[in-house]
Amino acid sequence: MARRFTGSFTQQEAIPTGAIDAAVAVLQSGRLHRYNLAPDEIGEVAQLESEFRDWQGSAYCLAVTSGGQALQIALRACDIEPGDAVLTNGFTLAPVPGAIRAVGGKAVLVEIDENLRLDLGDLERKIAASGARMLLLSHMRGHLCDMDRLMEICDAAGVTVIEDCAHTMGAQWNGKRSGNFGKIACFSTQTYKHMNSGEGGFLTTDIPDFAARATILSGSYMLYNRHGAGPEAEAFDLPRYDMPNCSARMDALRAAILRPQLAQLDANIDRWNARYQEVERVLRAYARIATIALPAQEVHVGSSIQFRLPGFSDDQCRATLASAAARGVELKWFGGKEPHGFTSSHHSWRYVAGQSLPETDRIMATLFDMRLPLSFSEADCTLIAELIGETVAEVSQ
């Protein structure tokens, strides 16, 4: 009988005991809203904001309902106007162009290279051609492009960079954390990200005006002093009259769940990377499988892994999905013509004007993706990678 993996690709580790105890305490208090506090109480959300600010190394932090809301708030805080062109990756997840569309912007899609990073040459061309003054940079699937060069390009052109760090919480480029390059960074704590509160997110920045605008946009009801990592009161004097309330506040229950996870995050990053490195090691032994190069300047966070099967047809890619599934391995394929689950391509984003991205299309045509939850052991990862290799060999025959 052929070998088979019997674990679950959607099973995350249990929420830590300390987080469960904190959540129960919040439930027993009845005070779930971030501003519903007892006299002199510093709420869970404010404490989380302060702790994440310090961990990230930013000046300010705002906790919100989701990473997608963080993206929309960031764009609004940067004064996007209806019809403004916003550059973003041609390969990303739908909430990124969705955020641009939701705030009235027009997405200008930039090509990627074979290692899934933004093509900086195409970025320069698209800046010049579009006149865009904003880049919503998606660090898609945890891969950082050359951030030093990217910032040189954008600073020279007067382009404001917003970093989507949903997949790079804790990643670094040349010793600097992702999220600390652009004007604003957005993070997610959705279940499949690096901390798990079901839904949730953060926005970080070093610019007090942006922090004030974002706080008002999140729905602060002028209760600025109840934030744990916000700017001084005078930063709110002007934006409080201009920014709409978008009701995107994180609640105390989610913050209570996240604070103990933040304390474990650095250790968990090491655990993810050990699993990533083991899968990558095994996959590299198979000639038909092209792994994704990780630059020496990058500290990766390997909560998922990607590989390409150059030369495979669509039928072979579909057969790979089916054969892997028969072995208990759940792969995602980004080359499908229709959106499926968490995967989609720019062709199915009909809220974005159609654009020609031949290189991105070529790369995505044979691109596969797989989650690496911490519920997997390193031995599980060895087996899974070997099963992928067997699958690819079978389909190649």
Which CATH entry fits the domain spanning 266-396: 3.40.50.150, 3.90.1150.10, 3.60.20.10, 3.40.50.2000?
3.90.1150.10
| pLDDT, tens only, 89-138 | 999 999 999 999 999 999 999 999 999 999 999 999 999 999 999 999 99
CA distance 16 to 13: 8
Q: Which pLDDT score, from 0 to 100, does residue 344 have?
A: 85
> To which residue do tokens 């047809």 refer?
313
Q: Which pLDDT score, from 0 to 100, does residue 74 have?
A: 98
Which CATH entry fits the domain spanning 17-260: 2.60.40.10, 3.40.50.2020, 3.40.640.10, 3.90.79.10?
3.40.640.10
Q: Which pLDDT score, from 0 to 100, does residue 337 have?
A: 82
Q: Looking at the whole model, is its pTM more than 0.85?
A: yes
Q: Which pLDDT score, from 0 to 100, does residue 371 have?
A: 97
Please work out, in degrees rounded to the nearest 5, the angle formed at the alpha carbon of residue 327 by the alpha carbons of 326 and 329: 100
Residue-range domain boundaries for the chain = 17-260, 266-396
Task: Identify the DSSP state of 240.
Answer: G
| pLDDT, tens only, 177-236 | 999 999 999 999 999 999 999 999 999 999 999 999 999 999 999 999 899 999 999 999
Are 307 and 292 spatial neighbours (Cβ–Cβ below 8 Å)?
yes
pLDDT profile of the chain (397 residues), mean per 10: 88 96 97 94 96 98 98 97 97 96 98 97 98 97 97 98 98 98 98 96 98 97 93 94 95 98 98 98 97 97 97 97 97 90 88 96 97 97 98 94
CA distance 26 to 32: 7
Fold matches, 17-260 and 266-396:
no
